[in-house]
Amino acid sequence: MSLIRLKNILKIYESQSGKVRAINGVSVEFESGEFTSIVGPSGCGKTTLLNAIGGLDKPNSGEIWIDKTEITKMSDKDLIDFRLKNIGFVFQAYNLIPVLTAIENTTFILELQGVPKRIRNDRGMELLEAVGLSDKANSRPNQLSGGQQQRVAVARALASSPRFVLADEPTANLDSKSTSKLLDIMSELNSKEETTFIFSTHDQRVIDRARRIIYLEDGRIK
Amino acid sequence: MTILIIAWRNIWRNSWRSAVVIGAMSLGVWSGIFMMGWAQGLNNQRTVTLLDDNVGHGRITSFNYLEKQDPSSIIDNLKSVEEMIIADPNITAYSSRVVCNAMVQGGSGSAPVIAYGVTPKSEQSLFSAARNISSGNFFKSSFAEDVVLGEKLANRLEVEIDDRIILTFQDINGGVHSALFWLVGIYDGASNLLEESMIYVPKGTISSQMGFTDTTNIDFNFNSIAHEVNYRVKEPYQIEETSSSLEGEVKKREIHNDNSLIFRTWKEVSPELGVADAILAQSLLLFMMIILLAMSFGILNTMLMAILERTRELGMLMAVGMNRQKIFNLIVTETILLSFFGLPIGLLFGHISLYVTSKTGITLKSVEQGLAQYGIESTVYPAIVPEYYLPVTALVLVLSFLSALHPARKALKLNPIESMRVL
């Protein structure tokens, strides 16, 4: 059975010009360990689809199953808990907590899960080492470059060993060197920790590294 | 733990704004505490002045006299009671009085008064009204036909020193008795009411004229006659202990039949003074609450601004799995930390200010006469009020929590996706 299953997802937004079908009947499945890019032009519904998979946005109709759980039927409260335990997020704008250091940001999810301090610090350092930032463990986000911040965000997303990681245009704000480094890291973690990665992107550098590509246009899979 | 760290660091993200809120809170607590100490000091001074002037700290009265106002109901076995009072290490002075409701006539009019039959030395050692003689002298003998009036009454009756005064009163046999006295002194009391209603006469003279000579037969000794015994203790606010101890001692020694004596503290003798203390305490806390309430609106505004500035971050926290309870805790913790930072500073400065001014006093020359009307000296010594620190702390805690509720509610209403779109 696939890890993630989307059945006939429909998401409609109300706008001034009328109703917009951001996702228009999408059905797709993702296997465990995938390294997949959802690509398409701006406004094609990539982020909306990713948000729906992550339980951040509820579709108007259709079903989303994560393993044996249908998240489209979950309450907001249960969804928060489900996200905490099962999904890692990497956002376009890094979204680190500005008052926490790199190691504190990395281990933040583990703290929310109630993992003991020693264990979460070991895991945090292991991941910062994996993303090449062990020497920046005590630096705050404003002391890190954009690329470094995004690597901390990846480390944070992976800290609790989630079932899958959703990355919304993770390289959009990065230069070539940082993009390349980040993709290397994610690719390596995908192989080493068998973590499932699903990206939304229109960055060719990411598309080139993806092992599966899903094209989205006008809310439909092409 | 991380919530506390995040909350603490969040406060200092905008250090200038936080410093202003903390400064305002400190200033509010400081001024509030100082005002409480000031008002408490003023009230204490007024209470102590009135207690010293004529009320006393504790009073033992014959039950029958108190209940029926029967002049013949004197304290039995007075000598034993006085011995017990002398033996108490907390009691510094006492005076046994014969009390007589009378009508005083002299000069141009008459007035109802309470005539106190006293022995000059013991009365003067206990009450300042008997010491503050503005004209003439307090009588020296307990058997003279002398009288001492208050200034207000003397003015009203238009009498002067050496004028004749007629007292009309009921003797112990129920007969109405009139006696002639000579005005030897005029006292300056703590209040006009006191000066108009209280007069002093020698205890021996009034006891004899009230008819106690007949009942005590040939061995008449006015020292064994009194309707009430007033006493002063070292610490008037701990009078309850001494009063209970005396009452226990009377029962233990079986000096009196049960309930033949009534032991009262100044709060019972003069309830308006005790009530003033209680009302003042509540008023001061209410006053403090108003100050802190104003402060809490400042905090609320600061927290709302903080939420607005951190909408994106809060959205992210919700997105990655921080539940509503933790978001709520974060906002409340930040608010309480902000308030609690100002609290100790305010308390410390308030305490130091009160400590210094309680030693030096603050002189109010411009309202000197007004204060004197109420028996208060123009130099006010604020009181140190540690008993208010805990309620003030609790108030700050409660109001901080309440002022956190609205911003926290705003934060909880945020939608993660929409919040993260905010630039």
Contact A89 B323 (CB under 8 A): no
Contact A85 B416 (CB under 8 A): no
User: How far from B154 is each of A137, B186, B298, CA to CA, in Å?
Assistant: 89, 7, 58
- Within 8 A of B5 by CB-CB distance, chain A residues are 99-100, 104
- Which residue range is the domain that position B345 belongs to? 2-50+274-421
Residues B345 and B225 in one domain: no
Residues B306 and B168 in one domain: no
- Within 8 A of B419 by CB-CB distance, chain A residues are none
Q: Are strands B228-233 and B91-106 parallel, antiparallel or unpaired?
A: antiparallel
Q: Is residue A5 in a domain?
A: no
- Within 8 A of A124 by CB-CB distance, chain B residues are none
Contact A100 B13 (CB under 8 A): no
What residue type is A152 in one-letter code? V
Other beta carbons less than 10 A from residue B142's beta carbon: 21
Residues B155 and B193 in one domain: yes
Element (H, E) at A131: none
Residues B17 and B90 in one domain: no
- Within 8 A of A156 by CB-CB distance, chain B residues are 320
B335 vs B355: CA distance, rounded Å:
30
User: Which residue in B208, B209, B230, B239 sits closest to B96, CA to CA?
Assistant: B230
The yes-or-no verdict on residue B258 having pLDDT over 70 is no
- Within 8 A of A98 by CB-CB distance, chain B residues are 13, 313
pLDDT in the model for residue B166:
94
Q: Which of B317, B322, B417 sits opposite A57 (nearest CB)?
A: B417
Q: Would you place residue A141 in the very low, low, confident or very high pLDDT band (cuts 50, 70, 90)?
A: very high
Dihedral pair phi/psi, residue A28, rounded to 5°: -155, 155
The answer, for A57 touching chain B at a CB cutoff of 8 Å, is yes
Look over chain A and give the mean of its residue pLDDT values, rounded to a whole number. 89
Contact A89 B312 (CB under 8 A): no
Q: Is residue A16 in a domain?
A: no
Contact B312 A108 (CB under 8 A): no
A145 vs B289: CA distance, rounded Å:
48
Q: Which domain-ending residue is among B245, B269, B293?
A: B269
pLDDT in the model for residue B256:
63
A210 vs A37: CA distance, rounded Å:
6
Contact B319 A81 (CB under 8 A): no
Q: Which of A89, A97, A100 sits opposite B319 (nearest CB)?
A: A89
Contact B320 A54 (CB under 8 A): no
The yes-or-no verdict on residue B219 having pLDDT over 60 is no
A56 vs B185: CA distance, rounded Å:
93
- Which residue range is the domain that position A193 belongs to? 34-58+74-221
Residues B107 and B159 in one domain: yes
User: Which residue in A160, A123, A84, A162 sits closest to B325, CA to CA?
Assistant: A84
Q: Which of B322, B324, B420 sits opposite A95 (nearest CB)?
A: B420
Mean pLDDT on A186-208: 87
Residues B64 and B89 in one domain: yes
- Within 8 A of A111 by CB-CB distance, chain B residues are 1-2
Continuous H helices in chain A: 46-53, 76-86, 102-106, 108-112, 117-130, 146-159, 176-192, 204-209
**Angle at the Cα of A195 (from A190 to A196), degrees rounded to 5?**
95
Dihedral pair phi/psi, residue B281, rounded to 5°: -60, -45
The yes-or-no verdict on residue B217 having pLDDT over 70 is no
Q: Distance (Å) from the C-alpha of residue A69 to the closest C-alpha of chain B? A: 17
User: Which residue in A88, A16, A17 sits closest to A50, CA to CA?
Assistant: A88
A32 vs A165: CA distance, rounded Å:
11
**Number of domains chain B contains:** 2
Q: Are strands A164-168 and A196-201 parallel, antiparallel or unpaired?
A: parallel
CA count, 13 A, side-chain hemisphere, B217: 1
B325 vs A110: CA distance, rounded Å:
17
Residues B305 and B222 in one domain: no
Q: Would you place residue B422 in the very low, low, confident or very high pLDDT band (cuts 50, 70, 90)?
A: low
The yes-or-no verdict on residue B220 having pLDDT over 80 is no
User: How far from B264 is each of B70, B243, B268, B386, CA to CA, in Å?
Assistant: 19, 7, 6, 28
B26 vs B351: CA distance, rounded Å:
12
Q: Distance (Å) from the C-alpha of residue A87 to the closest C-alpha of chain B? A: 8
Q: Distance (Å) from the C-alpha of residue B307 to the closest C-alpha of chain A? A: 14
Mean pLDDT on B172-180: 88
Q: Six-digit token pair at B206?
A: 């009034």
Q: Would you place residue B215 in the very low, low, confident or very high pLDDT band (cuts 50, 70, 90)?
A: very low
Mean pLDDT on B398-409: 90
Mean pLDDT on B219-243: 85
Q: Distance (Å) from the C-alpha of residue B325 to the closest C-alpha of chain A? A: 10
Residues B91 and B205 in one domain: yes
Do A212 and A36 touch, CB atoms closer than 8 A?
yes
pLDDT in the model for residue A193:
79
If you ran DSSP here, which 8-state letter would residue B270 be given? S
Mean pLDDT on B180-184: 94
The yes-or-no verdict on residue B151 having pLDDT over 90 is yes
pLDDT in the model for residue B216:
47
The answer, for A177 touching chain B at a CB cutoff of 8 Å, is no
Q: Distance (Å) from the C-alpha of residue A77 to the closest C-alpha of chain B? A: 7
Q: Who contacts B51 (Cβ-Cβ below 8 Å, separation ≥6)? A: B57, B232, B236, B266, B273
User: What Rg value do the Cα atoms of chain B yield, rounded?
Assistant: 32
Q: In CATH, what number is assigned to the domain containing residue A99?
A: 3.40.50.300
Residues B287 and B138 in one domain: no
Q: Distance (Å) from the C-alpha of residue B42 to the closest C-alpha of chain A? A: 49
Residues B22 and B170 in one domain: no
The answer, for A84 touching chain B at a CB cutoff of 8 Å, is yes
Q: Which domain-ending residue is among B269, B296, B323?
A: B269
With tokens 């703290």, the residue in question is A111
Contact B6 A57 (CB under 8 A): no
Residues B153 and B217 in one domain: yes
pLDDT in the model for residue A17:
80
User: Which residue in B223, B233, B212, B263 sits closest to B119, CA to CA?
Assistant: B223
Residues B164 and B263 in one domain: yes
Contact B2 A108 (CB under 8 A): yes
The answer, for A108 touching chain B at a CB cutoff of 8 Å, is yes
Q: Are strands B198-202 and A220-221 parallel, antiparallel or unpaired?
A: unpaired
Contact A56 B417 (CB under 8 A): yes
A160 vs A123: CA distance, rounded Å:
9
Q: Is residue A210 in a domain?
A: yes
Q: Is the torsion defined by CA of B211, B212, B218, B220 positive or negative?
A: negative
Q: Which domain-ending residue is among B232, B253, B269?
A: B269
Mean pLDDT on A198-215: 89
Contact A99 B2 (CB under 8 A): no
Go through B184-217 and write b for each residue having 16 or more CB atoms within 10 A of its CB, e for each that does not: bbbbbbbbeebbbbbbbbbbbbbbbbbbbeeebe
With tokens 């005083």, the residue in question is B104
Element (H, E) at B283: helix B271-309
The yes-or-no verdict on residue A202 having pLDDT over 50 is yes
Name the closest residue on chain B to residue A99, using Cα atoms.
B9
**Number of domains chain A contains:** 1
- Within 8 A of A91 by CB-CB distance, chain B residues are 316, 319, 420
With tokens 């579709």, the residue in question is A59
pLDDT tens figures, B301-348: 888 988 888 888 898 888 888 888 899 999 999 888 888 788 999 999
The DSSP result for B396-420, as a single string, is HHHHHHHHHHHHHHHHHT--HHHHH
The yes-or-no verdict on residue B41 having pLDDT over 60 is yes
B418 or B120: which carries more pLDDT confidence? Answer: B120
Predicted model pTM = 0.70
B267 vs B306: CA distance, rounded Å:
51
The answer, for A112 touching chain B at a CB cutoff of 8 Å, is yes
If you ran DSSP here, which 8-state letter would residue B260 be given? S
